[in-house]
C-alpha cells in the first residue's frame, strides 16, 4: 500500500513537471544568429502559402532561383497554415532556428523581430534592385521602420471591403449602400428573405475584428486609433464604443450566422455560407478574390464589391469613408541571414517583382502592390479594389497586426466577446485600454 | 563483536550500492537534463523581462511574480482547471470503473467482452487533434448533431462551443469521452489483480454480485482508484491540447486554462519571461494540489 502511494506520488510529480518542461525547454542558444538548422548553402524560406493560388505564386520564385542562380545557394520553401504559422515562427526564433527568409504582416510583430535581430535592414539591396521604383510607395512605407527597409512587399493589395452576391442584390432590388444605414436596410431585407446578411466565422477572432475596425474608422477616422496607440489617447474613445455598440446591435438583429464565434475561417466555414448562398455579403480582406476565383470561377463572376460605407451624420464622413483598413503588400518577406546568403535570398525574392511574376499574380486574381498595376487588371472586381486602395487618403494596417501582441490579443478577445454578447462595449474598450497601458508602462 | 560478519555485511551493502548507482545513473541523468534543468530554468527565466527571441534579457527580480499574483485572468484560468479537475474525476473514474466491472462480470463470455472492450477503448486511441476536429464539426451550430436533434423536436440551433456559458462544460464532456477508456483499462488491471479465489469464496459465503462489488472488490480496488484519481487530477490541471485545438481559450477567455495562458504569453505575445512565470505558478499549484489530495486520500485509506 505504502509503496503504491509512493509510486503514485512520484508519477504525479513527473506528470506535473512535464508540462512546464514542454513549455520551456529548448531555447538559450538563441544567440547564434540566423539559421542554425540546415547546412550553409540552403536558404530556408517560410511562408503561409498552403493553398493555391498563393502556393504556386510563392513557389515560382523559388523554382526560378533554384534553376537559374549561380550563387551556389538553394532555397527550400516550407508553407505553414496561417494561424499556426504565427506561433511556429516565434517558437523557431526562440530556439535559434529562425528561417533565413520568412513572411510577416509587418506591424508590431515585425518590430519585435527587428529588435531581436531576426530581420536585417535591406535598404541598399532594395534600392540597388530598383524595387523602390517598382513597388507602391505606401507598400514600401509599410515595410520601413526608423528609415530603414526591413521587408519586401510581395503579394497583394489586401484591404477590407464587402463582397456580395450580385444575383441576390438583383433579386431583392438592392443597391450598393452609400451609408451604414443603407447597409442596415439591406440586411433587413435579406433577413426577411431568410438569408444571413453577413458570412462570418469568428473562432479565430481576427475576422470579427474587421467589423470593429471598419466601424471605428468610418466613425472617427484614424486619429483616435493612432492617439490610443501612442498613448496620448485611449481606447475608451467614442468611436470604439460606437463600433462595439453597432456590432452588438447587429448580432441581436441576426445579421451574422448563428454560433458565429464557433465557426472557423481556417476550415472555410464562412466561405461555405457564401458559396451555398445561405449568406449574401462577406466583409473581409480583398485577398479572397484569388481564393474564390480558384475555388470557382463561376461563383466569382457572381460577386460584386464595395468598400465599407460611410457613417451617418458624421461631419467628415466622406473623408473617413475613403480610408483603407488593410495592407499594401499583405505578405512581406524579411531576412534573418547576412552577407552573401542575404544577397542570394534577396535575389530570390526580387523575382516576385519581375514582369513575368507580376503578370502571373494578376492572372491569379491578385493585386500586386506595384505602381501602375491598375493597367494590368482586367478583372472588374480587382480593378475596383485597386482603385479604391490607390485613391485612399490613408491606410491603416489591421489592428491585430499593428498593435503590440499583448494589446492585439486583448482587442481580439474582447471583440470576440462583443460578438458573443458576453461583454459590454464599455468593458471591451476598457480591457483593450488596460492592456495598452500595461504595455506602455512595461516599455518605460 | 564478530569482525568477519561485519565486513561481509559491509561488503554486501557496498556491492548493492554500486549496482544501484549503475542502474539509476541513466534515469537520474535523463531526469536531470529533461526535467530538473527545465524546471530550474523556468524559474530563472521568470525573473527576467524577455521576449523569447532576443539575445538580451533584463533582470526584473520578482516583478513577474507580483504580476502573476494579481493577474485575475490567471486565477480565472486556474479556476477553469479546477472545474475540469473536479468534473473529470467525478465522471471519468466512476464511469471507467463501471465499464471495467461490466467487462469483468462478462469475462467468461469472451466474445461479448472482446467486442465491448474494443469499442470502448477506441476513443482513447484517437489523437486529441483528430478528436478536436471531429467534435468541432459534430457540434457545429448549423447542421451539427445536437442542433439537428434539437431541430427534430422543434428546437433552435444550439451553439455549445461559441457560448461562454457552455463551452467549458462541453469540452469537459469530450475530454471525458476521450479518457474514460483509460480509466476503464486501469480498473480492469485492478480487477485482474484480484484472485478468482476471492470471488469464489464470497460466492460460497452467499454474497450476491452487488455485495461482492461493494464489500469485496471495491475495497481491494481502492489503491488503484486512488492513483487513477491523482492521475486524472494532475492531467486536468495541466490540460492543453483539446482546448487549444477546439477553442484556443475562447470565446473571449471563457475556456482559458493555465497551460493555454502560458502558451499565449510565451509564443504569441512575445513575453517569455511572464510565460515562464505562469509555468512556474502552474508547477507550484499542481504540486500543491497533488500533495494535498494525496495526503487526504491516504488518511482516508488508513481508516
Q: A166-203: per-residue pLDDT in tens? A: 999 999 999 999 999 999 999 999 999 999 999 999 98
Interface of A with B in 99-128 (CB under 8 A): 109, 112-113, 115-118
Cβ contacts from A onto B, under 8 A: 192
The proportion of chain B whose per-residue pLDDT surpasses 90, expressed as a percent, equals 35
Contacts of A113 in chain B (CB under 8 A): 53
Interface of A with B in 416-435 (CB under 8 A): 416-417, 419-420, 422-423
Predicted pLDDT at B52: 80
Quickly state the pLDDT bin for A33 (edges 50, 70, 90): very low
Average pLDDT for A289-309? 91
Residue of A nearest to B35 (CA): A21
Cβ-defined contact of B157 to A259 (cutoff 8 Å):
yes
Predicted pLDDT at A366: 85
Contacts of B263 in chain A (CB under 8 A): 23
Predicted pLDDT at A20: 42
Quickly state the pLDDT bin for B259 (edges 50, 70, 90): very high
Predicted pLDDT at B185: 92
Give the minimum alpha-carbon distance from B270 to chain A in angstroms, rounded to a whole number.
Answer: 7
* Three-state secondary structure of chain A: CHHHHHHHHHHHHHHHHHHHHHHHCCCCHHHCCCCCCCCCCEEEEEECCCCCCHHHHHHHHHHHHHHHCCCCCEEEEEECCHHHHHHHHHHHHHCCCCCCEEEECCHHHHHHHHHCCCCCCCHHHHHHCCHHHHECHHHHHHCEECCEECCEECCEEEEEEEEEEHHHHHHCCCCCCCEHHHHHHHHHHHHHCCCEEECCCCCCCHHHHHHHHHHHHHHHCCHHHHHHHHCCCCCCCHHHHHHHHHHHHHHHHCCCCCCCCCCCCCCCHHHHHHHCCCEEEEEEECCHHHHHHHHCHHHHCCEEEECCCECCCCCCHHHHCCEEEEEEECCEEEECCCHHHHHHHHHHHHHHHCHHHHHHHHHCCCCCCECCHHHHCCCHHHHHHHHHHHCCCEEECCHHHHCCHHHHHHHHHHHHHHHCCCCCHHHHHHHHHHHHHHHHHHHC
The proportion of chain A whose per-residue pLDDT surpasses 70, expressed as a percent, equals 91
Contacts of B230 in chain A (CB under 8 A): 8, 11-12
Contacts of A93 in chain B (CB under 8 A): 52-53
Q: Is residue A247 predicted with pLDDT exceeding 90?
A: yes
Predicted pLDDT at B171: 92
Residue of A nearest to B157 (CA): A258
Contacts of B221 in chain A (CB under 8 A): none
Contacts of B164 in chain A (CB under 8 A): 417, 420, 422
Cβ-defined contact of B301 to A1 (cutoff 8 Å):
yes
Average pLDDT for B66-92? 92
The proportion of chain A whose per-residue pLDDT surpasses 90, expressed as a percent, equals 48
Average pLDDT for A277-299? 90
Average pLDDT for B178-205? 89
Closest in B39, B235, B252 to A20, CB measured? B39
Please give the residue that has the higher pLDDT: either B10 or A7.
B10
Predicted pLDDT at A26: 36
pLDDT digits 0-9 by tens, A41-69:
899 999 998 887 888 899 999 999 999 88
Predicted pLDDT at B208: 86
Give the minimum alpha-carbon distance from A386 to chain B in angstroms, rounded to a whole number.
Answer: 32
Please give the residue that has the higher pLDDT: either A214 or B113.
A214
Average pLDDT for A33-38? 43
Quickly state the pLDDT bin for A36 (edges 50, 70, 90): very low
Average pLDDT for A68-83? 88
Predicted pLDDT at B200: 87
Average pLDDT for B65-82? 92
Quickly state the pLDDT bin for B300 (edges 50, 70, 90): low
Q: Is A268 on the interface with B (CB under 8 A)?
A: no
Contacts of A261 in chain B (CB under 8 A): 159, 161-162, 250-251
Interface of A with B in 16-75 (CB under 8 A): 16-21, 23-25, 27-28, 30-31
Give the minimum alpha-carbon distance from A357 to chain B in angstroms, rounded to a whole number.
Answer: 33
Average pLDDT for A2-15? 49
Q: Is residue A353 predicted with pLDDT exceeding 80?
A: yes
Amino acid at each position: 500500500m505504502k509503496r503504491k502511494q509512493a509510486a503514485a506520488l512520484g508519477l504525479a510529480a513527473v506528470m506535473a513537471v512535464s508540462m512546464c518542461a514542454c513549455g520551456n525547454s529548448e531555447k538559450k542558444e538563441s544567440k547564434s544568429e540566423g539559421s542554425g538548422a540546415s547546412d550553409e548553402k540552403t536558404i530556408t524560406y517560410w511562408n503561409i502559402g498552403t493553398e493555391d493560388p498563393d502556393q504556386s505564386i510563392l513557389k515560382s520564385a523559388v523554382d526560378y532561383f533554384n534553376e537559374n542562380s549561380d550563387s551556389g545557394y538553394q532555397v527550400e520553401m516550407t508553407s505553414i497554415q496561417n494561424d499556426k504559422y504565427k506561433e511556429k515562427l516565434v517558437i523557431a526564433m526562440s530556439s535559434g532556428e529562425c528561417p533565413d527568409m520568412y513572411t510577416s504582416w509587418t506591424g508590431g510583430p515585425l518590430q519585435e523581430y527587428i529588435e531581436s535581430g531576426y530581420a536585417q535592414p535591406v535598404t541598399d539591396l532594395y534600392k540597388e534592385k530598383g524595387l523602390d521604383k517598382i513597388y507602391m510607395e505606401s507598400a514600401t512605407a509599410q515595410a520601413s521602420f526608423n528609415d530603414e527597409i526591413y521587408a519586401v512587399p510581395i503579394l497583394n493589395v489586401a484591404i477590407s471591403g464587402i463582397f456580395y452576391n450580385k444575383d441576390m442584390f438583383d433579386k431583392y432590388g438592392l443597391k450598393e449602400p452609400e451609408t451604414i444605414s443603407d447597409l442596415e436596410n439591406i440586411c433587413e431585407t435579406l433577413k426577411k428573405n431568410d438569408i444571413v446578411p453577413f458570412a462570418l466565422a469568428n473562432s479565430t477572432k481576427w475576422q470579427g475584428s474587421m467589423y470593429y475596425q471598419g466601424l471605428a474608422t468610418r466613425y472617427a477616422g484614424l486619429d483616435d486609433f493612432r492617439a490610443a496607440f501612442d498613448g496620448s489617447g485611449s481606447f475608451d474613445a467614442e468611436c470604439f464604443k460606437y463600433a462595439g455598440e453597432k456590432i452588438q446591435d447587429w448580432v441581436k438583429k441576426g445579421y451574422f450566422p448563428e454560433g458565429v464565434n464557433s465557426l472557423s475561417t481556417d476550415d472555410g466555414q464562412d466561405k461555405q455560407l457564401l458559396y451555398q448562398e445561405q449568406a449574401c455579403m462577406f466583409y473581409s480582406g480583398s485577398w479572397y478574390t484569388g481564393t474564390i476565383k480558384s475555388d470557382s470561377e463561376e461563383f466569382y463572376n457572381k460577386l460584386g464589391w464595395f468598400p465599407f460605407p460611410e457613417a451617418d451624420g458624421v461631419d467628415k464622413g466622406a473623408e473617413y469613408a475613403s480610408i483603407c483598413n488593410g495592407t499594401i503588400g499583405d505578405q512581406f518577406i524579411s531576412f534573418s541571414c547576412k552577407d552573401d546568403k542575404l544577397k542570394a535570398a534577396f535575389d530570390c525574392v526580387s523575382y516576385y517583382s519581375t514582369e513575368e511574376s507580376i503578370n502571373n499574380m494578376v492572372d491569379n486574381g491578385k493585386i500586386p502592390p506595384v505602381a501602375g498595376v491598375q493597367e494590368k487588371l482586367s478583372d472588374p472586381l480587382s480593378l475596383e479594389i485597386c482603385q479604391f486602395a490607390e485613391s485612399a487618403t490613408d491606410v491603416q494596417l489591421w489592428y491585430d497586426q499593428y498593435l503590440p501582441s499583448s494589446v492585439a490579443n486583448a482587442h481580439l478577445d474582447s471583440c470576440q466577446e462583443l460578438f458573443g454578447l458576453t461583454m459590454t462595449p464599455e468593458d471591451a474598450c476598457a480591457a483593450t485600454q488596460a492592456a495598452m497601458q500595461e504595455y506602455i508602462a512595461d516599455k518605460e | 563483536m564478530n569482525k568477519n560478519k561485519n565486513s561481509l555485511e559491509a561488503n554486501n551493502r557496498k556491492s548493492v550500492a554500486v549496482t544501484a548507482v549503475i542502474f539509476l545513473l541513466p534515469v537520474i541523468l535523463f531526469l536531470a537534463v529533461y526535467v530538473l534543468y527545465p524546471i530550474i530554468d523556468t524559474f530563472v527565466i521568470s525573473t527576467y523581462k524577455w521576449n523569447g527571441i532576443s539575445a538580451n534579457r533584463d533582470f526584473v527580480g520578482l516583478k513577474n511574480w507580483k504580476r502573476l499574483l494579481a493577474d485575475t485572468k490567471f486565477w480565472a484560468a486556474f479556476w477553469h482547471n479546477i472545474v475540469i479537475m473536479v468534473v473529470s474525476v467525478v465522471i471519468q473514474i466512476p464511469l471507467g470503473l463501471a465499464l471495467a466491472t461490466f467487462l469483468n462480470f462478462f469475462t467468461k463470455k469472451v466474445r461479448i467482452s472482446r467486442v465491448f472492450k474494443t469499442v470502448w477503448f477506441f476513443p482513447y486511441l484517437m489523437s486529441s487533434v483528430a478528436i478536436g476536429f471531429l467534435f468541432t464539426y459534430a457540434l457545429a451550430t448549423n447542421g451539427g448533431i445536437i442542433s439537428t436533434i434539437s431541430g427534430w423536436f422543434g428546437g433552435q440551433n444550439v451553439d455549445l462551443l461559441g457560448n461562454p456559458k457552455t463551452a467549458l462544460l462541453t469540452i469537459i464532456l469530450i475530454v471525458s469521452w476521450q479518457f474514460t477508456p483509460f480509466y476503464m483499462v486501469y480498473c480492469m488491471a485492478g480487477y485482474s489483480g484480484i484472485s478468482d479465489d476471492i470471488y469464489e469464496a464470497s460466492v460460497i459465503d452467499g454474497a450476491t454480485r452487488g455485495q461482492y462489488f461493494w464489500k469485496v472488490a471495491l475495497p481491494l480496488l481502492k489503491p488503484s482508484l486512488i492513483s487513477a484519481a491523482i492521475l486524472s487530477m494532475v492531467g486536468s490541471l495541466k490540460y492543453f491540447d483539446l482546448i487549444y485545438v477546439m477553442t484556443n481559450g475562447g470565446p473571449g477567455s471563457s475556456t482559458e486554462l493555465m497551460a493555454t495562458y502560458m502558451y499565449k504569453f510565451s509564443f504569441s505575445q512575445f513575453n517569455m519571461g511572464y510565460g515562464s512565470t505562469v509555468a512556474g505558478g502552474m508547477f507550484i499549484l499542481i504540486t500543491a494540489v497533488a500533495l494535498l489530495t494525496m495526503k487526504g486520500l491516504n488518511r482516508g485509506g488508513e481508516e
